[in-house]
Amino acid sequence: MKKLILSFFILFFCLSSFSQDSMQVYPSHWWVKMKNPDLQLMIRYKNIGNIIPTYKLPAKGVRIANGIYMMAVHHVENPDYIFLDLYIAPNAKAGIHTFQFVVPGNHLKINYELK
Q: pLDDT value at position 106?
A: 80
Q: How far apart are CA 20 and CA 15, in angstroms?
A: 9
Q: How far apart are CA 97 and CA 109, in angstroms?
A: 10
Query: Phi then psi for 49, rounded to 5 degrees?
Result: -65, -25
Q: pLDDT value at position 38?
A: 96
Question: Which residues lie closer than 8 Å to 71 by C-beta, 6 or more apart?
Answer: 38, 57, 61, 85, 86, 87
Q: Would you say 62 and 70 are in contact if contact means Cβ atoms under 8 Å apart?
A: yes
Q: Which residues of the chain have a pLDDT value below 70? A: 1-21
Q: pLDDT value at position 17?
A: 42
Strand-by-strand arrangement of the 29-30 sheet: 29-30, 106-114, 95-103
Q: Would you say 115 and 30 are in contact if contact means Cβ atoms under 8 Å apart?
A: yes
Predicted model pTM: 0.77
